[in-house]
Structure 1
Amino acid sequence: MKKISDWRLLTTEQISSRIFYVIVALSAVLFILFWLIGYDMPYEEDPEYNAPLLTGVLVSFMIVLTIAAVALMTWGLIRSVRKNSDANRVVNNVPARRISLCVAGGFAAVMLLCFLLSDTTPLTINGERYADTFWLRMAGMFVGASLVMMVAAAAAVVFGATRYIRKK
C-alpha cells in the first residue's frame, strides 16, 4: 500500500477517485448535519418559514466547490493549450490542439448562449419579489448549461458505446 505522502506515485485515476470520494463524503456529512441539526428553526421575520441553522455552512461549501471547479477547469484549460502548442498540434494523427480549442470554445459558447437566452421574469421567493436581471440570468445560465452538458455527455457515451458495434 502506498503512503499518502507518495501521492505523486499515484495514477491520475487513483488521485481523482480519492478526491471524488472525499468530496462525496463531505457532502453527505454536511447534508445529513443540515437535516439533523436545527433544520426546524423558524425564520425570525416570518415564523411560517424555516431558517435551518447550517444553511450558511452548506452554501459556503457549495461556493467553495464551485470556485475550486472553475479554478481547476481554467488551470487545466491553460495547461492543455500550452501543452498542445505548435509543436504538438497533431499527436498520433489526432488534432490535439484543435480538440482543446474546440472544447474550450464550445464551453464558452454554451455558457454565453445560456446566459443570453435565460429568462428574466421576476420570481417570488419566500414571499418577496426577486427581479435582479443579472442574477436571474446567471442562475438560468448555470441551469441551462448543466442541462446542455448532461445531454452532450449522454450523447458522447452513446456514441462511444456504438463505436464497438460499428467496428465488428
Structure 2
Amino acid sequence: MKKIVDLRHLTAMQLSSRIFYILIGVIVVLFALFWIIGYDMPYDDNPDYSAPLLTDALIWFMIVLTFATLGLAVLGAVNGVRKNKGENVVVNNVPARRISVAVVVGTVLSFVLTYALSSTDALMVNGERFTDTFWLRTAGMFIGTSLLLIVVAVGAIVYGSTRYIR
C-alpha cells in the first residue's frame, strides 16, 4: 500500500510544483466544463447574446483564487518580516531588504499611477453604454499594471541573461 506523503517533509519546490499541477488541473476541468455544458444558452433579455451556464462558477473561482493569492502573499510577507526582524539586510552582497521594499513600493506606485491615468471614457457593453468611472479606472489600472509588470519582467530577463557571463 502506498503511503500518503506528509506535506511537511516536501521541499518548497516539490510542494509548489504539486500545488501548481493541482491548480492547472482544476482550471482545465473548469474551463472545459464551461465550454461544454450550456455554453450556447441564449440570454433571457436578448436572445442574440449567449449566457453560458457556468459563468458564475468561473467568476467565483477567479475571485477566490485572487483573494487566496493576495492572502498568501500578505502571509508570506508578514512571516518574512517576523522571521528576519532586521537581519538579512544584505545576503551575499545583495541588498535583499532594499529589493523587497522596492518591489512592494513599485507595485503599489504602479497601481496608483495606472489608476490615476486610466481612461474614464464610456464603453459599449452588450449594446449599452457603461459609464461607471470607478470600475472603468479599476479595469484600466489592472490592465495597465499587468502590461507594465510584464514589460519589467521581460526587461529583467533580458538584463539578467546578458549580464550572466562566466
How big is the shift at 1:3? 5.0
Match for residue 40 of structure 1?
Answer: 40
* Corresponding residue of 2:50: 50
Q: Distance in 2 between matches of 1:45 and 1:124?
A: 17
In structure 2, relative to structure 1, the CA distance for the partners of 1:38 and 1:66 (3 Å cut) is same
Gap runs ≥5 in structure 1: none
TM-score of the superposed pair, with normalisation by structure 1: 0.91
Tell me which amino acid in the other structure corresponds to 2:87.
Answer: A
Match of 1:111 in 2: 111
Distance apart, 1:163 and its partner CA: 2.5
Match of 1:125 in 2: 125
Equivalent residue, structure 2, for 1:142: 142
Which segments of 5 or more consecutive residues in structure 2 lack a partner in the other structure? none
Report how many aligned residue pairs link the two structures.
165
Corresponding position of 1:20: 20
One-letter amino acid of the counterpart of residue 43, structure 1: Y
Under a length normalisation based on structure 2, what TM-score does the superposition of the two structures give? 0.92
Identity of aligned residues (%): 56
Q: What's the C-alpha RMSD, in Å, of the aligned pairs?
A: 1.6
Distance 2:102 2:123 in 1: 36
- Looking at structure 2, the residues matched to 99 and 53 of structure 1 have their Cα atoms a distance apart, in angstroms, of 45
- Cα deviation, 1:81-131, whole Å, max 9, x if unaligned, reads 334432332223222211111111111111111111111111111112111
SS class of match (2:41): coil
2:152 corresponds in structure 1 to 152
Q: Following TM superposition, by how much is the alpha carbon of 1:5 offset from its aligned partner in structure 2, in angstroms?
A: 4.2
